[in-house]
């Protein structure tokens, strides 16, 4: 099997790095489409920083701020129509995974005439606008991936657009935008990043480069476990999580995700459970399965987190997530059936059977009596 690593984005890191890299924005074009949600980018200061730099450069901008959590196919077609009508030269995404994923899809659809029936087929030309990604949460790693995950309401699940043309040209990492991130969001996004690195190491496509980045990401996240419990993190810790999340994104760019993500998608779609929480609710039992079937790799992951036993990791997740959602046997069987049809279900050195996945869900989540 050919092993490779690829990540073409330029990453700019540090406090106030938007302002100190204004020339990088100037090279992108004359007019930007800013893709974001309705509120958070304006509250955390990231939107103002971007606008100031564009204004000082003499660049203009249009705004599409209708991105909700788990963006839909319909929303990105709407954004693409605005990008075309405004005749923008480049795209700036500000926010968590939802605005960044949406921005990639908007960019693709603004440049190429793709009907919805062909959207996930992967048959695209090279036409694309340059993009800047400004993550304001530390979890998805979308800033450095060539994926755009969208909600398909017809299929009742999430689907991914994947193409190397979706890599951002510039990535901005400034932890100050996360200073006031609520505890629950911080936990959910952090465990999302952790699941990316763990899944990367369990992936069929894992290689020495992705393994080394995954282990570094896991170690950095693990240093913040105690602070995650209280929700009180310093700016330095916020950057550790942001950097770890970006590393994890670079991991799954090459390794892809595994059956854990396939199991988590129905929890998000049918129960409105945050994506990171959905992964986290299952992560302990998922790693336990690999501890029984690939113990060398599971122990390597546990050691990087500072644990000697899988039960200690499960206890941590229980403490972070609190009371769990409940599923019925019927729901569990339905979600496992859906997950088994996902592209990432078989992307592992050890492939869990349907019965294995049913057991992971049953053990992880309480059932109705």
Report yes or no on 47 lying in a domain. Answer: yes
**Could you tell me if residue 158 is inside a domain?**
yes
Of the three residues 130, 159, 178, the one that is the final residue of a domain is 178
pTM, rounded to two decimals: 0.95
pLDDT digit string, tens, across residues 273-322: 999 999 999 999 999 999 999 999 999 999 999 999 999 999 999 999 99
- Regarding whether 209 and 144 lie in a shared domain, the answer is no
Q: How many residues does the chain have?
A: 369
**3-class secondary structure, 118:** helix
Assess whether 15 and 163 both reside in one domain.
yes
pLDDT averaged over the chain?
A: 96
Q: Which CA distances in Å does 336 have to 68, 192, 256, 269, 333?
A: 27, 20, 19, 14, 5
Are 86 and 68 in a shared domain? yes
Residue 300 included in any domain: yes
Query: Is the confidence at residue 140, as pLDDT, over 50?
Result: yes
Residues 115 and 228 grouped into a single domain:
no
Contact 9, 141 (CB under 8 A): no
CA distances from 24 to 54, 60, 62 (A): 11, 15, 19
Looking at the fold, whether 294 and 281 belong to one and the same domain comes out as yes
Examine the domain organization and report whether 216 and 173 are in the same domain: no
Q: How confident is the model at residue 30 (pLDDT cuts 50, 70, 90)?
A: very high
Q: Give the total number of structural domains in the chain.
A: 2
CA–CA dist 157, 174 (Å, integer): 32
Q: For tokens 């929480």, what's the residue?
A: 277
Instruction: CATH number of the domain at 46, please.
Output: 3.40.50.1970
Which pLDDT tens digit goes with each residue over 173-203? 999 999 999 999 999 999 999 999 999 999 9
Q: Given the DSSP bridges, would you call strands 157-162 and 147-152 parallel, antiparallel or unpaired?
A: antiparallel
Q: Are strands 90-95 and 60-64 parallel, antiparallel or unpaired?
A: unpaired
Q: Are 331 and 346 contained in the same domain? A: yes
What's the CATH code of the domain at 213?
A: 1.20.1090.10
Distance, CA of 190 to CA of 185 (rounded, Å):
8
Whether residue 3 is contained in a domain is answered as no
Determine, yes or no, domain membership for 198: yes
- Say yes or no: 165 and 20 in one domain: yes
Q: Would the pLDDT of 366 be above 80? A: no
Q: Is residue 280 part of a domain?
A: yes
Please indicate, yes or no, if residue 1 is contained in any of the structural domains.
no
The mean pLDDT of 218-234, rounded to a whole number, is 97
113: phi then psi, degrees, rounded to nearest 5: -85, 95
Range of the domain at 324: 183-364
Same domain, 291 and 206: yes
- Residue 5 included in any domain: no
Instruction: State residue 369's pLDDT score.
Output: 39
Q: Which of 59, 18, 61, 65 is nearest to 43 (CA)?
A: 65
Structural domain ending residue among the three candidates 178, 207, 239: 178
What's the CA dihedral at 16, 18, 23, 27 to 10 degrees? Answer: 170
Say whether both 145 and 30 belong to one domain.
yes
Query: What is the token pair recorded at 161?
Result: 């657009």
207 shares its domain with 337: yes
On whether both 100 and 44 belong to a single domain, the answer is: yes
**Alpha-carbon 347 to chain mean position:** 18
Query: Of the residues 116, 144, 178, which one is the last residue of a structural domain?
Result: 178
pLDDT of residue 2: 52
- Reported in sequence order, the residue ranges of the chain that DSSP labels E, i.e. its strands, are 10-13, 31-35, 60-64, 90-95, 131-135, 147-152, 157-162, 170-173
Phi/psi of residue 153, nearest 5 degrees = -70, -25
């Amino acid at each position: 099997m050919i092993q490779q690593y690829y990540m073409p984005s330029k990453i700019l890191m540090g406090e106030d790095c938007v302002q100190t890299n204004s020339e990088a924005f100037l090279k992108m074009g004359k007019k930007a489409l800013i893709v974001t949600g309705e509120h958070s980018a304006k509250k955390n200061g990231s939107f103002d920083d971007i606008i100031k730099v564009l204004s000082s450069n003499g660049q203009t901008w249009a705004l599409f701020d209708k991105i909700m959590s788990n963006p839909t196919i319909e929303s990105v077609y709407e954004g693409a129509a605005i990008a075309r009508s405004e005749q923008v030269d480049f795209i700036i995404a500000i926010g968590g995974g939802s605005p960044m994923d949406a921005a990639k899809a908007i960019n693709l659809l603004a440049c190429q005439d793709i009907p919805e029936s062909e959207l996930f087929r992967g048959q695209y030309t090279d036409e694309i606008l340059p993009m800047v990604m400004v993550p304001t949460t530390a979890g998805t790693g979308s800033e450095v991936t060539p994926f755009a995950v969208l909600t398909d309401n017809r299929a009742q699940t999430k689907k991914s657009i994947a193409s190397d043309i979706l890599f951002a040209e510039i990535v901005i990492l400034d932890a100050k935008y996360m200073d006031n991130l609520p505890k629950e969001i911080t936990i959910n996004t952090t465990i999302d990043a952790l699941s990316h690195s763990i899944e990367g190491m369990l992936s069929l496509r894992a290689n020495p480069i992705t393994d080394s980045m995954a282990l570094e990401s896991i170690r950095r996240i693990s240093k913040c476990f105690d602070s995650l419990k209280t929700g009180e993190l310093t700016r330095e810790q916020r950057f550790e999580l942001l950097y770890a999340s970006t590393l994890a994104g670079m991991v799954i760019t090459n390794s892809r995700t595994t059956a854990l993500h396939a199991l988590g998608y129905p929890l998000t779609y049918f129960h409105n459970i945050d994506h990171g929480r959905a992964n986290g609710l299952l992560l302990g039992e998922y790693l336990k399965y690999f501890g029984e079937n690939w113990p060398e790799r599971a122990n390597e992951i546990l050691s990087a987190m500072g644990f000697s036993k899988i039960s200690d990791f499960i206890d941590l997740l229980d403490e972070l997530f609190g009371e769990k959602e409940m599923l019925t046997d019927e729901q569990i069987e339905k979600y496992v059936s859906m997950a088994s049809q996902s592209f990432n279900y078989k992307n592992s050195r050890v492939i869990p059977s349907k019965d294995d996945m049913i057991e992971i869900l049953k053990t992880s989540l309480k059932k109705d009596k």
